[in-house]
Structure 1
Amino acid sequence: MANPTGHTVKAFDEDLDQLRASIAEMGGLAEAAIAESMRALVQRDGQSALRVIEDDAKLDALEAEVERQAVQVIALRAPMADDLREVVAALKIAGVVERIGDYAKNIAKRVVVIEEAPDLKPLSLLPEMARIVAEMVHNVLDAFAARDADKAAAVCERDKAVDDFYSSIFRALLTFMMENPNHITPATHLLFVAKNLERIGDHATNVAEMVYFAATGNHLAERERGYDTTLEADG
């Protein structure tokens, strides 16, 4: 597998291991940000929310490092076929994981705004929704590390549960807003929290599709997508 550019099996495997390690580190930070932003939301802990916002810079820095590593691998090793697919997948996945961190940061920003707002019953549904999406993120990055196409496909199958949670929370919060105008502001912020969680689930599913393609060379069958015009997650 050697070529004039210096692509040897051992050197390339070491480079891939470093890429996987960096992405695993990113995944750990993203999972922690999801969990901590939700804990801060439930406990109305503005200080913890601010730490989540500040810590997002670590993910940004790691994404830049993965990009540097991936470009270096391509330039020095000139990978082909399966090897190239995995390097390109790593590069794309790093960008998606960074975006997942942004959604967790957006949730934390909502905590700061509604810290003193009254409790709303639909808030009780959000932690379970967050648990599912954090598990999706964890599992899909495990699938990437193991090149496990079946595990990646299983992540895609969980996306519908996240969508169902979002629909239930959306309906419940709309009801609360109609019943009491004083609930409109906090309920709207919780809607954005739910939307950010729903988008994390979508992004985990997108990563799963990348992992599946990197491992098999084939695309997963097109998923049915519901078109939602209710509101968009924060930018």
Structure 2
Amino acid sequence: MRSKFDEQLRLLNQEMMYMGTMIEDSIQKAIEALIAQNAQLAEKIMNSDSDVDHEQKKIENICFNLLMQQQPVARDLRVISAAMKMVTDMERIGDHAADISEITIMLSKEPYVLNLDDIKKMASETVIMLIRSIEAYVEKDMNKAQEVIRHDDIVDDLFDKNKADIIELIRHDPEKGEQAADMLMVAKYFERIGDHATNIAEWVIFALNDKKEIKES
């Protein structure tokens, strides 16, 4: 019975890694589409969001099956609980990739009114956070998870800078206000992605802390 349970745990780990790869790919392509004003690529990202939702449900089903197969020990229960919480954040990251892509489509036929360098930098930092949070889960790396949490301050500072620059642009040139407001929303979506990556890292720590406690007891 335990061997079947362990096999399901390995499957859960594989599917978590796969979903992490899916959302990482969505965010990378969303950035690419935004910069290139590529409406076709943006539309593909929006259409693929249903695949992320399907993967979330698949992982949740694995978790429910694990809980019903036998009474999990404390360590297992923490891992399963963390996975169920993590996939919710991962699904929201996929939603934000679709949200950014929707704005990209709306802005694809007019030149940008502001330099995207700061938004690109912010996007790059959020991708780093996302990749490291998934690595922390796969590698069971407490230090890497804590690094992700600290990294969120960088993303927050970049968002504040983007926000201040965009507000200044609107103040000096109100005619550019509509597109500038859309770009502020893009920056906000990247800031939220950073928050979700932080949540993932915190759930990794939650799962790993139990292992440390059991080892010491």
Q: TM-score, normalised by structure 2?
A: 0.93
Indicate if the aligned counterparts of 1:122 and 1:172 stay in contact, CA closer than 8 A: no
> 1:150: which partner in 2?
143
> 1:35: which partner in 2?
28
How do 1:7-156 and structure 2 match up within 5 A?
Answer: 8=2, 10-156=3-149
The 4+ residue runs of structure 1 with deviation greater than 3 A are none
| Identical-residue share of aligned pairs (%) | 31
SS at match of 2:111: coil
> 1:70-100 CA distances to partner (integer Å, 9 max, x unpaired)?
0001100321101110011111111110011
1:186 corresponds, among 172, 176, 179, to 179
Shift of 1:211: 0.5
Distance 1:88 1:123 in 2: 39
How do 1:141-220 and structure 2 match up within 5 A?
Answer: 141-217=134-210
Distance 1:127 1:12 in 2: 43
Indicate if the aligned counterparts of 1:122 and 1:169 stay in contact, CA closer than 8 A: no
- Aligned residue pairs: how many? 211
Segment of structure 1 superposing worse, 175-184 or 115-124: 115-124
CA RMSD of aligned residues (A): 1.3
Shift of 1:111: 0.4
> 1:231: which partner in 2?
none
Shift of 1:184: 0.4
- Looking at both structures, which has the greater relative contact order when contacts are Cα pairs under 8 Å and sequence separation is at least 6? 2
Indicate if the aligned counterparts of 2:148 and 2:201 stay in contact, CA closer than 8 A: yes
Distance 1:71 1:144 in 2: 20
Segment of structure 1 superposing worse, 40-49 or 124-133: 124-133
Indicate if the aligned counterparts of 1:85 and 1:214 stay in contact, CA closer than 8 A: yes
Q: TM-score, normalised by structure 1?
A: 0.86
Runs of 5+ in structure 2 lacking a partner? 212-217
Shift of 1:181: 1.7
Runs of 5+ in structure 1 lacking a partner? 1-5, 219-235
